[in-house]
């Protein structure tokens, strides 16, 4: 069958599965029909942006990503708009989150691997700072890995530009993720974006090497007190060089904290270091940023929406398997012991039957169900560790009479999602396709 007839098209792009979802935006897999290139498209609702007075923040995010053209940063390719939506077209990064490399095995990286990712992180962050761009939400969840195993920084939604500094030359907005935030950011007396970002880099290095956070408390005030005092201990298996560098980065006094220039001269950091090679003098065009928020037709695109379950092509199946071996899509992977953020199974049942079966299985578990076409949103009644668990579900047609079902955590705690999916699976036995080889069901991850 021709998948193009069933998919939503935006200009020259054909939209596929949802890769991620936030309060104000969805990120979709898409294909450039002219070139065949795979991309990720961030879709924002204009009405929501206007209602929540987020126009300047979105403009700032787009401006930031255009300013920072670096091999270790997710690249913005173009910006488009329809009458109701804004589409930010981004480089598609296939390797997943760096966070998953730690969580999926409940383990840590070996020191050489952690050092290589840290070198790439400092390379990219220092480049941002040279362009007067400060990320302000650096954490493993915002670090992706490409097909070559290289780092890609994403999500510049909280980034700051020079014009946000007050007369004292400092930033004053408290933002970021508590466990990774520098003490001076919490202090609310103003901070330098560069030194605050470096603190976050130090926390990331600790997490990569230790497999857990240096500052981690359920009570927010207790957490902040530990951050203020830099109360943490490096594990005994850290090398002396790594331990000394981390202590210099996680210095609670920003005036004496190590700088990027000093990190480059650090012996532990320099081992095997190879700076990124790229054109630092590329022309930057910001004309489309204002245009997509106006009624200008220069960047306007048309939308075409289908009504059947979206088809999934072979490339997307391969990309989901994180390699060329597709067996992981249809077999249980016993080696994946940690909590995952998404799960998939295949079914030969009709799409409508799949949807209704998931709904019947979810409601007794205490979940409200919202349905639209071949998508569902499952929301837990009870408040969990990180708010209400929310799960997005979508049905894709792989081939005639063969569907792939994806469940993805939208909000809440990852471990709670893992437990929910385990319980939900018990009610899905009649619709899950089983291989003749071993009779096992087929969740991936």
pLDDT of residue 233: 94
Q: What does the pLDDT average to over 163-176?
A: 47
Distance CA(329)–CA(320), nearest Å, equals 8
Distance CA(203)–CA(138), nearest Å, equals 9
pLDDT of residue 84: 82
- Per-residue pLDDT of 173-221, as tens digits, reads 555 578 898 898 888 777 788 999 999 999 999 999 998 899 988 888 8
- Per-residue pLDDT of 45-84, as tens digits, reads 888 877 777 777 777 777 777 778 889 998 888 888 888 8
Residue carrying the six token digits 């999500």: 155
> Does residue 398 register a pLDDT over 90?
no
Distance CA(290)–CA(309), nearest Å, equals 35
pLDDT of residue 410: 86
Distance CA(156)–CA(154), nearest Å, equals 6
Q: How confident is the model at residue 362 (pLDDT cuts 50, 70, 90)?
A: very high
- Per-residue pLDDT of 431-444, as tens digits, reads 988 755 444 444 43
pLDDT of residue 265: 97
pLDDT of residue 215: 92
> 116-125, 257-266, 299-308: which range is least confident on average?
299-308
pLDDT of residue 249: 97
Catalytic residue of the set 100, 126, 137, 197: 137
The domains of the chain, with CATH numbers, are 9-92 (3.30.200.20), 98-270 (1.10.510.10), 314-425 (3.30.310.80)
> Does residue 164 register a pLDDT over 50?
no
> Does residue 336 register a pLDDT over 70?
no
Q: How confident is the model at residue 345 (pLDDT cuts 50, 70, 90)?
A: confident
Distance CA(388)–CA(385), nearest Å, equals 8
Task: Give the residue from 123, 148, 129 showing the smallest Cα distance to 270.
Answer: 123
pLDDT of residue 419: 86
**Whole-model pTM?**
0.64
Task: Give the residue from 182, 49, 27, 171 showing the smallest Cα distance to 97.
Answer: 27
pLDDT of residue 340: 62
Distance CA(10)–CA(250), nearest Å, equals 46
Could you tell me if 321 and 329 are in contact, meaning their C-beta atoms sit under 8 angstroms apart?
A: yes
pLDDT of residue 337: 41
Average pLDDT in the chain: 79
Q: Using a pLDDT cut of 90, give the percent of the chain over it.
A: 27
pLDDT of residue 411: 85
> Does residue 286 register a pLDDT over 90?
no
Is residue 423 among the annotated active site residues? no
Could you tell me if 117 and 208 are in contact, meaning their C-beta atoms sit under 8 angstroms apart?
A: yes
Write the DSSP symbol of residue 188.
T
Q: What does the pLDDT average to over 247-258?
A: 95
pLDDT of residue 296: 58
Beta carbons within 8 Å of 14's beta carbon, 6+ residues apart: 3, 4, 7, 8, 30, 31, 33
The first and second tokens of residue 344, run together, are 């998939």
> Does residue 358 register a pLDDT over 90?
yes
> Does residue 299 register a pLDDT over 80?
no
- Residue 204, φ and ψ in degrees, nearest 5: -60, -45
């Amino acid at each position: 069958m021709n998948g193009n007839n069933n998919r939503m098209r935006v200009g020259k792009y054909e939209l596929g599965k949802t890769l991620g979802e936030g309060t104000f935006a969805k990120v979709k897999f898409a294909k450039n029909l002219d070139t065949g290139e795979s991309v990720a498209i961030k879709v924002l609702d204009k009405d929501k942006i206007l209602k929540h007075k987020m126009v300047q923040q979105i403009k700032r995010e787009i401006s930031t990503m255009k300013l920072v053209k670096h091999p270790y940063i997710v690249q913005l390719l173009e910006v488009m708009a329809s009458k109701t939506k804004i589409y930010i077209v981004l480089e598609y990064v296939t390797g997943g989150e760096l966070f998953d490399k730690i969580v999926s095995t409940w383990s840590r990286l070996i020191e050489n691997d952690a050092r290589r990712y840290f070198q790439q992180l400092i390379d990219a962050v220092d480049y941002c700072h040279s362009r007067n761009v400060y990320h302000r939400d650096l954490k493993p969840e915002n670090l992706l890995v490409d097909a070559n195993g290289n780092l890609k920084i994403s999500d510049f939604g909280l980034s700051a530009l020079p014009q946000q500094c007050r007369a004292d030359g400092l930033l004053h907005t408290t933002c970021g993720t508590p466990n990774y935030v520098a003490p001076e950011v919490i202090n609310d007396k103003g901070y330098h974006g560069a030194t605050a970002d470096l603190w976050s880099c130090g926390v990331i290095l600790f997490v990569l090497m230790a497999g857990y956070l240096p500052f981690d408390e359920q009570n927010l005030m207790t957490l902040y007190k530990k951050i203020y005092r830099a109360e943490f201990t490096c594990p005994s298996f850290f090398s002396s060089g790594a331990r000394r560098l981390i202590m210099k980065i996680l210095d609670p006094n920003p005036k004496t904290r190590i700088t990027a220039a000093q990190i480059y001269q650090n012996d532990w950091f320099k081992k095997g270091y190879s700076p990124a090679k790229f054109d630092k003098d590329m022309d930057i065009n910001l004309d489309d940023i204002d245009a997509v928020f106006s009624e200008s037709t220069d960047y306007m695109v048309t939308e075409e929406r289908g009504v059947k379950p979206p088809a999934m092509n072979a490339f997307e199946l391969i990309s989901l398997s994180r390699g060329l071996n597709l067996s992981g899509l249809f077999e249980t992977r016993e080696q994946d012991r940690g909590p995952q953020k998404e799960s998939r199974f295949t079914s030969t049942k009709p799409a409508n039957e799949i949807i209704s079966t998931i709904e019947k299985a979810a409601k007794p578990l205490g979940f409200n169900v919202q349905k639209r076409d071949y998508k569902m949103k499952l929301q837990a009644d009870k408040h969990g560790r990180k708010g209400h668990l929310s799960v997005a579900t979508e049905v894709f047609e792989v081939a005639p009479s063969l569907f792939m079902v994806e469940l993805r955590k939208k909000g809440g705690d990852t471990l709670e999602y893992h437990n929910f999916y385990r319980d939900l699976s018990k009610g899905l036995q009649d619709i899950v396709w089983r291989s003749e080889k071993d009779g096992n069901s087929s969740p991936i991850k």
